[in-house]
């Protein structure tokens, strides 16, 4: 693995730490991009990487994305991310989680973790036994915020898709709007259900084809193989799976007017936002449209630190600000001719003191 400061995705990160616990076999990377606005907040990803360099790349890119996401969400939080390197069998043990929790605790509150790919609410509870710097903990009162951030993320994306349809298509209803949804897990499935309730026409795909087919049957939608979803003729392509799919080849395949979904780091490289712009597509910057989850868990954490409650109503109110921010980005993009990702990046960089 090259030195992290030689990686193209290194962006003056404040801290990049590789943690190894021999007794449990745990290896993790914790990356803090910026704490300008507050402690670096971002989830922990538990994933098997064939090449450890991929883990470093994810930690660097995702932590920078969290700096931008939290800033654009108006949260007093910086950007951080952690990656636990899983073996091929995805072996996860309580001793590994304990060692990881101790690594978080050693940072003294500079990093606050949460649930991400491969991690669960139960894992957050286990980590919380050894450090308080955890958000997204389950709650028993349905009126309070906490627990799985997926539904909040899905709601924010749903609001963002409706905003994009209004901006690009001039339509104030989703009835009859064709949306191709890539990924039907917690987030993508939640987005699909909300869109279906509004009368949208849906084409669904997932690497778990049975899951996509089951959801399609539930919603009266159509399912296609995962490899075919980017070729679907539709109004909106909504990527809600893994990132970096919008590269030269992927963008050339798209047959839509809007790209709006929850996957992190959708653009493979910076120039790919320009390619979408050149094709006349409206792009919702991923770290703006998918901010619902971190809004929910951060508000829960900040309230808990102050000994105060955080209600679901307050979180939902904050989610309604996501389309407002997106409209500002698109309006500035229209006025300047700059791609929406560049407009959003400039806004975020200014907020974290790097503009």
Alpha-carbon distance of 130 to 133, in angstroms, equals 9
* pLDDT score at 8: 79
Query: 294 in a domain, yes or no?
Result: no
Query: 218 in a domain, yes or no?
Result: yes
Cβ neighbours for 231, distance < 8 A, ≥ 6 positions apart? 253, 255
Cβ neighbours for 89, distance < 8 A, ≥ 6 positions apart? none
The pTM (predicted TM-score) of the whole model is: 0.93
Give the domain CATH number at 105.
3.40.50.10860
* pLDDT score at 217: 98
Distances (CA, A) of 152 to 149, 194, 318, 331: 5, 12, 10, 25
Distances (CA, A) of 268 to 21, 160, 189, 244, 250: 32, 21, 24, 4, 10
Query: Catalytic amino acids?
Result: 81
* pLDDT score at 114: 95
**Same domain, yes or no: 190 and 116:** no
Which residue matches tokens 């109110």?
317
Alpha-carbon distance of 256 to 164, in angstroms, equals 12
Cβ neighbours for 225, distance < 8 A, ≥ 6 positions apart? 205, 209
pLDDT digits (tens, 9 = 90+) for 59-92: 999 999 999 999 999 999 999 999 999 999 999 9
**Same domain, yes or no: 105 and 235:** no
Query: 255 in a domain, yes or no?
Result: yes
**Same domain, yes or no: 89 and 171:** no
Query: 208 in a domain, yes or no?
Result: yes
**Same domain, yes or no: 222 and 188:** yes
pLDDT digits (tens, 9 = 90+) for 207-264: 999 999 999 999 999 999 999 999 999 999 999 998 889 999 999 999 999 999 999 8
**Same domain, yes or no: 262 and 197:** yes
pLDDT digits (tens, 9 = 90+) for 312-323: 999 999 999 999
pLDDT digits (tens, 9 = 90+) for 102-127: 999 999 999 999 998 899 999 999 99
* pLDDT score at 179: 98
**Domain span at residue 100?**
4-63+79-128
* pLDDT score at 7: 74
Helices (H), 44-149: 52-72, 94-106, 121-128
Asked if 42 and 83 count as a contact pair (C-beta separation under 8 A), the reply is: no
pLDDT digits (tens, 9 = 90+) for 151-174: 999 999 999 999 999 999 999 999
The CA-based dihedral angle spanning residues 81, 86, 92, 95, taken in that order and rounded to the nearest 10 degrees: -70
**Same domain, yes or no: 182 and 233:** yes
Look at residue 11 and tell me whether its pLDDT is greater than 70. yes
**Same domain, yes or no: 26 and 164:** no
Alpha-carbon distance of 345 to 207, in angstroms, equals 31
**Same domain, yes or no: 155 and 285:** yes
Give strand ranges (E) for the chain: 15-21, 26-34, 40-41, 44-48, 78-86, 111-112, 178-182, 201-205, 222-223, 236-239, 258-259, 282-283
Give the domain CATH number at 328.
3.40.50.720
- In this prediction, residue 2 has a pLDDT band, given cuts at 50, 70 and 90, of low
């Amino acid at each position: 693995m090259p030195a992290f400061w030689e990686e193209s995705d290194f962006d003056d990160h404040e801290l990049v730490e590789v943690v190894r616990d021999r007794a449990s076999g745990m290896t993790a990377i914790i990356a803090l991009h910026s704490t300008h606005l507050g402690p670096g907040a971002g989830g922990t990803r538990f994933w098997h990487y064939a090449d450890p360099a991929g883990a470093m790349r994810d930690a660097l890119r995702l932590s920078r994305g969290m700096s931008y996401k939290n800033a654009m969400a108006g949260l007093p939080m910086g950007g951080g991310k952690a990656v636990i390197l899983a073996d091929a069998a995805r072996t996860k043990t309580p001793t590994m989680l304990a060692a990881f929790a101790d690594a978080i605790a050693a940072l003294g509150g500079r990093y606050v973790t949460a649930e991400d790919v491969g991690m669960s609410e139960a894992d957050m509870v286990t980590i919380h036994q050894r450090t308080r710097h955890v958000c997204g903990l389950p709650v028993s009162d349905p009126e309070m915020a906490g627990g799985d951030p997926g539904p909040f993320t899905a709601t924010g994306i749903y609001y963002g898709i409706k905003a994009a349809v209004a901006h690009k298509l001039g339509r104030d209803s989703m009835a009859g709007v064709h949306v191709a949804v890539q990924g039907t897990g917690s987030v993508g499935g939640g987005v699909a259900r909300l869109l279906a309730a509004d009368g949208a026409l849906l084409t669904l795909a997932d690497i778990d084809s049975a899951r996509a087919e089951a959801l399609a049957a539930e919603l009266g939608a159509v399912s296609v193989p995962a490899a075919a979803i980017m070729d679907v003729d539709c109004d909106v392509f909504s990527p809600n799976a893994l990132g970096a799919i919008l590269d030269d080849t992927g963008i050339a395949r798209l047959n839509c007017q809007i790209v709006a979904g929850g996957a992190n780091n959708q653009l493979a490289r910076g120039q790919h936002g320009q390619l979408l712009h050149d094709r006349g597509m409206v792009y919702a910057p991923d770290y703006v449209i998918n901010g619902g989850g971190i809004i929910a868990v951060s508000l829960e954490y900040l309230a808990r630190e102050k000994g105060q409650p955080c209600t679901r109503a307050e979180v939902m109110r904050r989610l309604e600000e996501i389309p407002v921010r997106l409209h500002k980005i698109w309006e500035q993009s229209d006025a300047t001719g700059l791609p929406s990702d560049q407009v959003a990046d400039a806004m975020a960089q200014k907020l974290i003191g790097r503009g």
